[in-house]
Structure 1
């Protein structure tokens, strides 16, 4: 948890101006990340922090927090040490870790004694290097990877001024070439005792300990290389090193600390985090749909509880992720008579992940979409905390800028995973990516999205939905993800939006999901849509119109405490759970919240279906209507977006006691077509029109008033 606020990086003259110390009370400033933190680390401040990338930024690091304020920063792509220092773990000033809108990634927590920002950690083809993951055992971390098919377990540690990397190298017929140090311009003396003394810009001493038979050092092209011959057995060796020229002191430290076998740390260690208990609030059953509050805790770990992902186990437990890298398991008593929210237990399950913005549960295992990878979490000793952080999928370039997020994680009926990549200030045109169920194959499915914070998957057609963050360029809402289609950011749109929401309803969308068709009352089977900006939710009814489906959206009547961003349906109770946070571009009142939208069984007075027909729009209600209230004067229509344009209504007709026809002339589904795009045989492009808002104030047959607005996106009939 050792965090600093401003560190002078080499070659920078404006650090003090750019990295002002954050106040001591900054959220996240005292967070304990456990034995390792994954993140981008930039060793140089960029000329343009909004650039897709810059020299000096190592985008996939794992920073091992070692004894004695020592830190080893691993580049997990190159399987190399990118740097080491003594002092705080990171400089977190002006980052997402300590502010609502950080402008920079973390920097080293102190001036690095060593840097290697480009050279590989092993002399091997890139496809011969495979990161398997890393293990946590109490405050220790063990990396697991393969080099030319041979397993390597690596345990970093430190003692006094000395660092140590202990390797357990598995059997294999391949000769391995380890490159532990990149020493430009150095002169290196290699001893018969397998010591190495480097002089130059970085005076350094190093020595080997353990099973060193037939090992040999080489120094060429600024690389210190250890040649490791084939072996029929696992080889255990430690590399001790420190800055300076005190080789006797290094040898003394090494002799006092014999090699520790990393393999003995893989089965899981003792629990580190105590449970935290909160008292939730169950709403009164005074309406058909009510909102329960699952209170988010303050905690003794300094964890900033900005919730960014949610998923549910079959037994009703929830998984919640936080922007700062935690995964929590949330549970409370369930009985056949109902549940009890008076005692909600929060268990810290995993720590130190890189901006988790999506989570799924598949076959009982938790998958987390961080910026660096999809991590599959394992609890080896079944003590309620993750011990093994498996690298399930990490293909593709990522960016260091504050805006280069990777969003959400959903699965389709075939078990494929989907996530979105930001197209703004990022090395991506804005994409939805599909990953095979085994994590080995990836496919860019759709492109040209600005900042698609939310996805949804499911429904009767097994659709995948994507909701972009428009920033005023075009309206909020969602579209169906179709292979090869483009979605309008910095280019044309070749797939129409399924539904469009005006700015007063949503300006920054989150995820979507389909509600439980059997257990969520009259709104079972609709699409639930989240708005991070307005802290509101909308439900969407879909018409299977031709040539494209149409969407009809209605805003739920209740606000939420936080910017709702992720949601799921619990397999246990069939209810809708939503998680949110506070950041920029939201009116959220608190940093994080989990709410449950619960169907009580009470009578509902809601729109349950909508369809565009030749004569206008049909609206179906959950209750019988008062015929006298279904009158022309009680309905109003307009196109609503940046401006408002009134739309003529010819008449309103009660078709049956649950269904109203709003007669609107000249509703033309073809209006969404950009006819210019096909003049020369090009692909059909689509316009984004303001939604048709149909407002009404009528009564149910029992006298209850129904006042609502339906936002219609008509793509066919």
Structure 2
């Protein structure tokens, strides 16, 4: 493992390779105020100047006297000053917990990996300070009478309150204060949480403004178990604990008005009753817990004035005034498509990490990016040369966002809180109001139930993709299948959100980790899924209402639907971790104009997706868009000004790239492209059409083509091996009887006997273009329906060859196989993407499988506590049945290579692993 100096380790964030950082040095940014050295140290994930972070919290184990049904997936963890904090549950509109001492531990995935870039471990935040008050999993506000949860054994619904009863509207950020905005019935409520010290103690304050209170409201401020008594004295209500009533929790109302009345319900709930009023009212509610002997000090404090809310609706002072300027790096025009780098603003005054997850554009070519760390940045100066890129921080505090959209010049972000619309109320370049556009989708606290993707439909509605609740932590819900937990009842689903954000309908289910793409004018909705349990390899889908895609734990239906086949499968070695898609709706992307582009996180890189729509069951295929991708490629968008594709991505879940994050421009140079742009597959064979004319001699020689096919098996195991049509293991090498070049020299027809429906086919070709360029590449596709192929444009096709005697497939395979060797094993290690998860040295950072150096003959300890020596038999079992034994400290994330690797291949890999051990 390379020993990277700490001062250089952050340099990976710019999207540069490890080698280039170590060999060339790297300068990230220059500041507009003055040129200065890079700041390669990151500040804390939690910024003291921002009033909250969004998080999930588990407060079920606060101790005696506190409610035990207390967890929240959507929560604002508020910094209230004086080492006082509170979590506001935006689903149930309650203070789930308030405490003093230390802030929440940073254990969620975005928080853990903020500085430890490859660490995808996660847990759920728990209170490590001293809890003061809490409420259970019921509405914090209600109309008419308090409403409490009677059966605490029931699991959470992971959904917001019905909007007609109560709704979270959003949060205003006003300096270092939060102003919460929500509705209860017809009433509109604004609340500014805070804290106040008195006589060495701390009271929690809730400055509240109400309007349009047409029905009596009840605020539940705290629940106190083990209560031994209660009383109400004027505008203060008390609940006591202890045989001698020596501990007390109190709620008081501060302010001139006397209409708001504290009370006690059922002997343990501290409440405030807000009467009907046609006029706006403001009061401060104070909650305190302490020793009964200190009551008088609290009663004295309660004589202080109500804390007035600021004029927050006009916007507050800009939290971030500085502009960070970076210089991009243009790629040389060496191919049809190249990637220019927009250098990230890592040298920023706040020492903030910048792991870009998605990018979107305004009409004038300005952009906005969202980071996994919860920030939004706006970008100006995106021009041809990229030499004066201006970055401004626009928003913060979001909860693991991975999607950003700009609709009618407004910024929308999808995070675990829902779809948030960011509003700059005073036009100072910084968001003031984080409006809840939509939280109608369910959201559990399971870490893999990502707010995965958001796309905008032509009719103004939105589609969202939600990750499946995988068993990789924190384990808040029950196990529902191998690799899965219950999560919410919308995990692993695609939903359509109405144009106003107030309603949702489930469009498709049965997904493990979906990400989306949509045609901006035609509305064609596509998705990928993540290979894993129940997902045999990477698929790309065209989505229709009612589709079910085969992941049983995320079925969410009882009508036994059939499994919808994908547009195409992609082999594990080609794309082991798929993500989103973008349509190149452009007139300046050359041969990619109008094409669907698929993003691979694991490869990383982009694929051109070809669709054969001549069959009644749509089918497709992919080819690689060759370019430099220095970091994982996750999401992208077309720039309406230059009409090029911009690509965002960051590293965390295992990629063949060492880069941490990058923002790229895929630019068309005008040079020739040699990739396929059309395909047909059917009974007679395969047609591939290319961007450039081909040399007739190489294209007409069938020996220059190799065609393979195989099926997958969908099981609860992680991924799948390869299987022949008869169900036996392995891949079939197909006989190419002849190849024909079309009259315009751009299309090739491969005459292939015994074509039929199959999950996966692969065509490898070694050709020469008409201009002399060597064209050696591959194309992967699926045959969902085998029909006749239109051979118009091809002359002299001899279909009789389909029935002619041909070499046996085994003979063809045997002729191409070389002797087993460690060197061949190293080649397989690279080709099969093993290098993305396993180091051939001792490196573990960024590696999601055990390292190979000194693996042979070492003792392996499994997650069940058993042990074994890693001999040849163990290594073979690990390749063919990787889920049988999981090494302690690792997850089940490797597919079986049954039928993928021959015995000779497996022997070579074992020889390679043995060669990495000490002699």
Q: Give TM-score, length-normalised by structure 1.
A: 0.87
Residues 664 and 45 (structure 1), Cα distance of their counterparts in 2 relative to 1, 3 Å cut: farther
Distance 1:384 1:460 in 2: 30
Q: Which has the higher strand share?
A: 1
Between the aligned partners of 1:177 and 1:94, the Cα distance in structure 2 is: 33
Match of 1:235 among 269, 273, 281: 281
Counterpart secondary structure, 2:697: helix
CA distance in 2, matches of 1:519, 1:230: 62
Q: CA deviation digits over 1:292-347, x for unaligned, max 9? A: 1112232343433232222122222222212221112122253xxxx231222222
Aligned match for 1:200, one of 222, 238, 241: 241
Aligned runs of 1:299-314 on 2, under 5 Å? Answer: 299-314=348-363
SS at match of 1:390: strand
Query: What is the alpha-carbon distance in structure 1 between the residues aligned to residue 70 and residue 279 of structure 2?
Result: 39
Match of residue 268, structure 1, among 270, 290, 315: 315
Pairing 1:633–2:703 present: yes
Q: How far does residue 356 in structure 1 lie from its aligned partner after superposition?
A: 0.8
- Report the equivalent of 2:141: 122
Matched, 1:383 2:399: no
Among 24, 41, 47, which residue is 1:32 paired with? 47
Give distance in 2, aligned partners of 1:391 and 1:535: 34
Task: Show the counterpart of 1:224.
Answer: 270
User: Residues 46-91 of structure 1: CA distance to partner in whole angstroms, max 9, x if unpaired?
Assistant: 9xxxxxxx95421111111112221111111221111111233311
CA RMSD of aligned residues (A): 2.4
Could you tell me how far apart the structure 1 residues matched to 2:731 and 2:356 are?
35
Secondary structure of 1:96 counterpart: helix
Counterpart of 2:210 in structure 1 is 169
Per the TM alignment, residue 701 of structure 1 is displaced from its structure 2 partner at its CA by: 1.5
> Aligned equivalents of 2:694 and 2:354: distance in 1?
45
Q: Distance in 2 between matches of 1:252 and 1:105?
A: 39
**In 2, distance between residues paired with 1:309 and 1:57?**
29
Q: Secondary structure at the match of 2:120?
A: coil
CA distance in 2 between partners of 1:45 and 1:203 (Å):
20
The aligned residue for residue 735 of structure 2 is: 648
SS at match of 1:628: helix
1:168 Cα shift? 0.6
Partner of 1:464: 525
Aligned pair 1:478/2:540, yes or no? yes
Structure 1 contact 539–554 (Cα < 8 Å) conserved: yes
Instruction: Report Cα offsets for 1:352-398 as digits up to 9, x if no partner.
Output: 11111222111111111111211111111111111111111112432
Q: Output the CA distance in 1 between the equivalents of 2:232 and 2:521.
A: 68
Pick aligned residue for 1:353 from 375, 382, 398: 398
Q: Deviations over 1:92-134 (max 9, x none)?
A: 1364311331331222352322222324312337532111111
1:614 deviation in Å?
4.1
Query: Matched residues in 2 for 1:610 and 1:332: separation?
Result: 40
Q: Name the SS of the counterpart of 1:113 in structure 2.
A: strand
Corresponding position: 1:188 with 2:230: yes
- 1:602 paired to 2:671: yes
Does the 8 Å CA contact 2:339/2:664 hold for their aligned counterparts?
Answer: yes
Does the C-alpha gap of structure 1 residues 535 and 285 become closer, same or farther in structure 2, counting only changes over 3 Å?
same
Residue by residue over 1:227-255, the C-alpha shift from the partner in whole angstroms, topping out at 9 and shown as x without a partner, is 22222211011112322243444455556
Counterparts in 2 of 1:152 and 1:56: CA distance versus 1, 3 Å: closer
For 1:428-477, what per-residue CA distance to the aligned partner results, in whole angstroms no more than 9, with x for missing partners?
4521111111111211111111122x111117853211111122641103
**2:458 and 2:520 in contact (8 A); partners too:** no
Q: Which one of 316, 325, 333 corresponds to residue 374 of structure 2?
A: 325
Q: Determine if contact 2:221/2:251 at 8 Å carries over to the other structure.
A: no
CA distance in 2, matches of 1:94, 1:364: 32
Match of 1:93 in 2: 107
Match of 1:410 among 448, 455, 471: 455
Gap change, CA 1:538 and 1:27, over 3 Å in 2? farther
Cα distance in structure 2, aligned partners of 1:129 and 1:370: 21
Tell me which moved more, 496-505 or 275-284.
275-284
Q: How many Å separate the matches in 2 of 1:257 and 1:270?
A: 25
Q: Residues 216 and 516 of structure 1: is their aligned pair in 2 closer, same or farther, counting only changes over 3 Å?
A: closer
- Residues 97 and 135 in structure 2, CA contact (< 8 A), matched pair in contact too: yes
SS at 1:277's partner residue?
strand
Equivalent-residue separation in structure 2 for 1:86 and 1:42 (angstroms) = 16
CA distance in structure 2 between the partners assigned to 1:167 and 1:459 by the alignment: 43
Q: Distance in 2 between matches of 1:26 and 1:400?
A: 30
Deviation at 1:143, TM superposition (A): 0.7
Stretch moving more, 488-497 or 266-275: 488-497
Who is 2:504 aligned against? 442
CA contact (8 A) 2:457 2:520 kept: no
Pick aligned residue for 2:307 from 251, 259, 262: 259
385 and 460 in structure 1: CA distance in 2 versus 1, 3 angstrom threshold: closer
Distance 1:253 1:614 in 2: 85
Q: Is the 8 A contact 1:486 1:493 kept in 2?
A: yes
1:715–1:462 CA distance, 2 compared to 1 (3 A): farther
Q: What are structure 1's unaligned runs of at least 5 residues?
A: 1-24, 47-53, 673-688
Q: How many residues align?
A: 660
Is 2:577–2:601's contact at 8 Å kept on the other side of the alignment? yes
Say which of 566, 578, 583 aligns to 2:652. 583
SS in 2 for 1:97: helix
Report the Cα distance in structure 2 between the residues aligned to 1:540 and 1:45, rounded to whole angstroms: 50
2:783 is matched with which residue: 695, 698, 714? Answer: 714
Is the contact between residue 59 and residue 400 of structure 1 (CA under 8 Å) also seen in structure 2?
yes
Partner of 1:663: 751
Q: Counterparts of 2:520 and 2:309 in 1: how far apart (Å)?
A: 50
- State the shift of 1:517 in Å: 4.2
1 CA distance for matches of 2:233 and 2:691? Answer: 85
Most deviating of 126-135 and 377-386? 126-135
Contact 1:464/1:480, CA 8 A, preserved across alignment: yes
Distance 2:78 2:350 in 1: 18
The 3 A distance-change label for structure 1 pair 109 and 571 is: farther
Does structure 2 retain, via aligned residues, the 8 Å contact 1:527–1:541?
A: yes
Inter-partner Cα distance in structure 1 for 2:248 and 2:567: 63
- Taking structure 2 as the reference length, the TM-score comes to 0.69
Q: CA deviation at 1:257?
A: 5.6
Contact 2:359 2:648 in 1 (8 A): yes
